[in-house]
Amino acid sequence: MSVIRRLPRYYRYLTELMQSNITRISSKDLSLKMGLTASQIRQDLNCFGGFGQQGYGYIVDQLRDEIAQILGLNNSKKAIVLGAGNLGQAVAAYLEFETKGFHLVGIFDNNPDIIGTTVFDDVKVLDVAGLVDFCQREKPEMAVLCTPKEPAGLLVEQVYDSGIRFFWNFSHFNISRKYPDVTVEAVHLNDSLMTLSYLMSDHDTAES
Amino acid sequence: MSVIRRLPRYYRYLTELMQSNITRISSKDLSLKMGLTASQIRQDLNCFGGFGQQGYGYIVDQLRDEIAQILGLNNSKKAIVLGAGNLGQAVAAYLEFETKGFHLVGIFDNNPDIIGTTVFDDVKVLDVAGLVDFCQREKPEMAVLCTPKEPAGLLVEQVYDSGIRFFWNFSHFNISRKYPDVTVEAVHLNDSLMTLSYLMSDHDTAES
């Protein structure tokens, strides 16, 4: 799994190399660029069939294509966003414009002031009352949770019952505790920010 | 450090208990609620002076106050946001309305179409050309990086030279590689989403 978590970084660096018109790179040069050891890189990439050739290095676009394939980036999966506040709208735009592997099919909220407003292009915020019907019709595979903890439980129940088993979770609701058979990637913004706040503070208290 | 990373969760659960008018909790009940063991909880909280009493448990508001103190949440630190796209605007609102320990003093962009627009209330997007002057005048302590990698390097240099040493980094620019004396909390949205994409994909390739 730790190899998997490094693959997006490989993909990113290889994309940058391509943009700089570099077609071939040794594991040593790639390691310098990425701050890993060359043997770590060889070991990581060997896990996936080993595309490098001794003394020749890696062909950048070929390695990038292979990694994209492994990460499923060529297969655009339907995603919905639950919660259309600032964060939900940012995530929706992010899914649509800045990433591969997913595309947005719907964004939902329960706030009458937000429902029907335009997020971008021709994407409008949908009424969460229609969520179940929407899921049965469109069959999204992944839901992004951008709501407060309170409505999150009910929303997860609805989309789970509609067949969604993959979640990108920005909320404080613990999805996998209630549904052990789902796959969740959680982003703990608040924990990250509070950790930074801690690191910026005096810690006489902690040491007393 | 792993204790520190759990403190925000304690803070969150204790806040929920307060909101439910629960004034006292045993380490056992807290452990059930949080999915940790009771001995883990006692050990964690002992690190910070041990507020619990044998057979009596923890006084919720007192423990919450102590944790807030340790996390520096009572000390509102000045933060700026660099990049006022969807993500930057979401983070700005998040800092201002949904967290403690920080307040927003400025949000910057270089796009003439965005500069001068209102993010919320009376907060307008400022021209990044005035960033250095602004920092010298307002002395923010923390910068959130919400730009593409390209301008991030220059912006970090500018705010570093203005004295900022703490960063919340949503960009792909590696701040601490260039500035080893800064403290960075990084949020890797793209890595998280690509990992989810991987987990949703068939992996015949990986096993071949």
DSSP readout, chain B?
A: -HHHHHHHHHHHHHHHHHHTT--EE-HHHHHHHHTS-HHHHHHHHHTTT---BTTTBEEHHHHHHHHHHHHTTTS-EEEEEE--SHHHHHHHHIIIII-SSEEEEEEEE--TTTTT-EEETTEEEEEGGGHHHHHHHH--SEEEE-S-HHHHHHHHHHHHHTT--EEEE-SS--HHHH-TTSEEEE--HHHHHHHHHHHTS--HHHH-
d(CA B176, CA B182): 6
Whole-number percent of chain A with pLDDT over 90: 62
Enumerate the residues of chain B whose CB falls inside 8 A of the CB of residue A91: 90
CB within 8 Å of B69: residues ≥ 6 apart: A205
Whole-number percent of chain A with pLDDT over 70: 93
Enumerate the residues of chain B whose CB falls inside 8 A of the CB of residue A90: 86-87, 89-91
Using left for φ > 0, alpha for ψ between -120 and 50, and beta otherwise, residue B183 falls in beta
Token code pair at residue A149: 């903890």
Query: What's CA A206's distance to the chain center, in Å?
Result: 35
CB A68 within 8 A of CB A11: yes
CB A93 within 8 A of CB A120: yes
d(CA B120, CA A90): 15
CB B144 within 8 A of CB B185: no
B66-104 pLDDT, tens digit each: 999 999 999 999 999 999 988 899 899 889 888 889 999
Residue B160: pLDDT over 90: yes
Position B47 scores a pLDDT of 75
Across the interface, of A12, A185, A208, the residue whose CB is closest to B172 is A12
Position A73 scores a pLDDT of 94
Band (B42; pLDDT cuts 50, 70, 90) = confident
Q: Report the mean per-residue pLDDT for chain B.
A: 90
Q: Which residue has the tokens 């969740």?
A: A184
CB B34 within 8 A of CB B9: yes
The amino acid occupying position A46 is N
The secondary structure of chain A in percent helix, strand, coil, rounded to multiples of 5, reads 50, 20, 30
Mean pLDDT, to the nearest integer, of A96-102? 88
d(CA A84, CA B91): 14
B114-127 pLDDT, tens digit each: 999 999 888 999 99
> Alpha-carbon Rg of chain B, whole angstroms?
21
Query: What's CA A152's distance to the chain center, in Å?
Result: 19
Across the interface, of B4, B93, B172, the residue whose CB is closest to A86 is B93
Enumerate the residues of chain B whose CB falls inside 8 A of the CB of residue A172: 12
Residue A207: pLDDT over 60: no
Contact A197 B66 (CB under 8 A): no
Contact A73 B8 (CB under 8 A): no
The neighbour count for residue B42, using CB atoms within 10 Å, is 17
Predicted TM-score (pTM) of this structure: 0.87
Bridge partner list, A82: A108, A145
Q: How many residues does chain A have?
A: 208
d(CA B143, CA B72): 17
- Strands B58-59 and B24-25, by their bridges, are antiparallel
φ/ψ of A84, rounded to 5, equals -115, 35
Across the interface, of B141, B191, B192, the residue whose CB is closest to A9 is B191
Position B52 scores a pLDDT of 65
Q: Which residue has the higher pLDDT, A16 or B202?
A: A16
Contact A195 B8 (CB under 8 A): yes
Position A160 scores a pLDDT of 97
CA distance B129 to chain A (A): 25
How open is the CA angle B3-B9-B14, to the nearest 5 degrees? 115
CB B201 within 8 A of CB A7: no
CB within 8 Å of B204: residues ≥ 6 apart: none
CA distance B185 to chain A (A): 6
Spell out where chain A has E strands.
Answer: 24-25, 58-59, 77-82, 102-109, 118-120, 123-127, 142-145, 166-169, 183-186
A18-48 pLDDT, tens digit each: 999 999 998 888 888 888 898 888 888 887 6
Q: Which residue has the higher pLDDT, A203 or A200?
A: A200
